[in-house]
Amino acid sequence: MSFDPAVIRASFAIVELRADHAAKYFYTHLFAHNPELRQLFPADLAEQRDRLFASLTELVLRTDDLDGLTGYLRALGRDHRKFQAQPEHYPAIGASLIAALRQFSGHSWTPEIEKAWTEAYTVISQVMIEGATEPAAAPAWWEAEVVHRRRAAPDVVVLTLAPDHPYPHRAGQYLSLCSPRRPQVWRPYSIANSPRLDGTLELHVRRVTGGLLSTALVNDVAPGERLRLGPAVGHAQLVPYSTRPLLAVAGGTGWAQIKALVEESARTGCRPTTLFLAARSERDLYDLAEVERLAGCHRLLEVVLAAPAEGTDRATAAQLLRIGLARRGSWAGHDIHLSGPPDLAPALTDLLLALGAEPELIRHDPVPVTLNRARPTSCSEWFLDKRDIAWINRTDHGQY
């Protein structure tokens, strides 16, 4: 790559001091000069501005790792197809990016800096376009009809979707989803089933306070509506051909991913499997009929429910799960899968390692670097306290 990483980092450190203003300026400039692009973005641009600056920060931090940066950009380009990004859009975006950087660099902006950023963006856009146009790339999205909807709990629905053409996936993967009710707002959800003969997919959706898409899915989306699906991603799958005993731990709607894995394990029925199903309270164990079904068809499946009585707090539920795992003694020699709230995997990994588990046998989806989802309020927070931006596919973890 021909640009100078040191110049890019030094320049970005100045613009980062006014990150939110720079992001607002970028979109204002982009839409003023290219109004036809406005339809490609969500109505509410607050999250989109965070997405822009989070991506820029990631790129700047990766400028010394060219191989990793190339892989990240290719994955980013493939992912952006679902936003209907086209090669002809990249020059307009580059022009607005340079304009925003120039505006908020003040007197520090120089021809050398503009040259470095122009070269950097040329490389970035070229690699992203290459990723988006790879012959082996999956479709940008699938259309899927909601064929069944079940209210599993006051804040949880189970949706069954029928994609319009074959949707390849493996147990343990997740997808990103968008609804016409919230145009251009994408969120990730675990696929709650192993591949089926009829090709349908099951998703478990919990309503998140203030969640744009989850609120629509739980409250409003009905059978007959169509949703848009991104490709299946993720590597938290069963180890192929492993005969080791399996420990699967699910918390809350993390049960969706674990359910798919237990279904996959049940296909052979010859592998001892221990399922710990945890919830904030007994009422939050929302899918017990499916648990019973799996226990009935998997003779080597043991189910342990870990849910305190009503009225207790989340910490009590977490402690109950930890006690249950510790009482079993050693987990050495087990394949282990963890799925649940973002803090579940780190906390249980430490416990299971202390109980003899091998680190290379523990699998889970990438964990956010922080549970803080608030928007940055001071100039250094973009670097010092990374935010969990849940609606960005974590392609930096090699999930595409």
In a domain, residue 371? The reply is: no
3-state secondary structure the chain: CCCCHHHHHHHHHHHHHHHHHHHHHHHHHHHHHCHHHHHHCCCCCHHHHHHHHHHHHHHHHCCCCHHHHHHHHHHHHHHHHHHCCCHHHHHHHHHHHHHHHHHHHHHHCCHHHHHHHHHHHHHHHHHHHHHHCCCCCCCCCEEEEEEEEEEEECCEEEEEEEECCCCCCCCCCEEEEECCCCCCCCEEEEECCCCCCCCCEEEEEECCCCCHHHHHHHHCCCCCCEEEECCCECCCCCCCCCCCCEEEEEEHHHHHHHHHHHHHHHCCCCCCEEEEEECCCHHHCCCHHHHHHHHHHCCCEEEEEECCCCCCCHHHHHHHHHHHHHHCCCCCCCEEEEECCCCHHHHHHHHHHHCCCCHHHEECCCCCCCCCCCCCCCCCHHHHCCCCCCCCCCHHHCCC
Whether 66 and 157 share a structural domain: no
In a domain, residue 213? The reply is: yes
Confidence of residue 398 (pLDDT cuts 50, 70, 90): very low
In a domain, residue 369? The reply is: no
In contact, 203 and 189? CB cutoff 8 Å:
yes
Confidence of residue 68 (pLDDT cuts 50, 70, 90): confident
Whether 383 and 340 share a structural domain: no
- pLDDT of amino acid 218: 97
CA atoms in the 13 A half-sphere facing the CB of 72: 20
In a domain, residue 316? The reply is: yes
Whether 81 and 167 share a structural domain: no
Whether 177 and 220 share a structural domain: yes
In a domain, residue 40? The reply is: yes
- pLDDT of amino acid 151: 96
In a domain, residue 91? The reply is: yes
Cα(369)–Cα(150) distance, integer angstroms: 33
Rounded mean pLDDT, 22-28: 92
Whether 306 and 330 share a structural domain: yes
More confidently predicted of 378 and 271: 271
Whether 9 and 70 share a structural domain: yes
Tens-place pLDDT, residues 160-187: 999 999 999 999 999 999 999 999 899 9
Rounded mean pLDDT, 132-140: 78
More confidently predicted of 264 and 138: 264
Domain boundary among 229, 257, 283: 229
- 155 phi and psi angles, rounded to 5 deg: -120, 15
pLDDT at 137 over 90: no
- pLDDT of amino acid 214: 95
More confidently predicted of 32 and 307: 32
Instruction: CATH number of the domain at 391, please.
Output: 1.10.490.10
Instruction: CATH number of the domain at 268, please.
Output: 3.40.50.80
In contact, 395 and 230? CB cutoff 8 Å:
no
Least confident of 35-39, 63-67, 188-192, 321-325: 63-67
- pLDDT of amino acid 389: 46
In a domain, residue 234? The reply is: no
Whether 254 and 310 share a structural domain: yes
- pLDDT of amino acid 335: 97
Sign of the Cα torsion 189, 193, 194, 195 reads: negative
pLDDT at 397 over 60: no
pLDDT at 224 over 60: yes
Mean pLDDT for the chain?
87
Instruction: CATH number of the domain at 166, please.
Output: 2.40.30.10
- pLDDT of amino acid 299: 87
pLDDT at 332 over 70: yes
Nearest CA to 209 among 221, 219, 198?
219
Tens-place pLDDT, residues 302-329: 999 988 877 677 788 889 999 999 999 9
In a domain, residue 368? The reply is: no
Whether 125 and 10 share a structural domain: yes
Q: What is the percentage of the chain residues whose pLDDT exceeds 70?
A: 90
Domain that includes residue 147, residue range: 142-229
CA–centroid distance for 128 within its chain: 19
Nearest CA to 4 among 52, 54, 60, 55?
60
- pLDDT of amino acid 102: 95
- pLDDT of amino acid 381: 55
- pLDDT of amino acid 136: 64
Whether 350 and 390 share a structural domain: no
Cα(169)–Cα(191) distance, integer angstroms: 9
Cα(287)–Cα(284) distance, integer angstroms: 9
Confidence of residue 57 (pLDDT cuts 50, 70, 90): confident
Whether 160 and 102 share a structural domain: no
More confidently predicted of 398 and 161: 161
Cα(65)–Cα(9) distance, integer angstroms: 13
- 184 phi and psi angles, rounded to 5 deg: 65, 15
Tens-place pLDDT, residues 337-388: 999 988 899 999 999 999 999 999 999 998 755 434 455 555 455 455 555 4
Whether 11 and 31 share a structural domain: yes
Structure tokens at 186: 């994408």
Confidence of residue 2 (pLDDT cuts 50, 70, 90): low
- pLDDT of amino acid 250: 96
Whether 354 and 389 share a structural domain: no
Its pTM surpasses 0.85 = no
Q: How many domains does the chain have?
A: 3
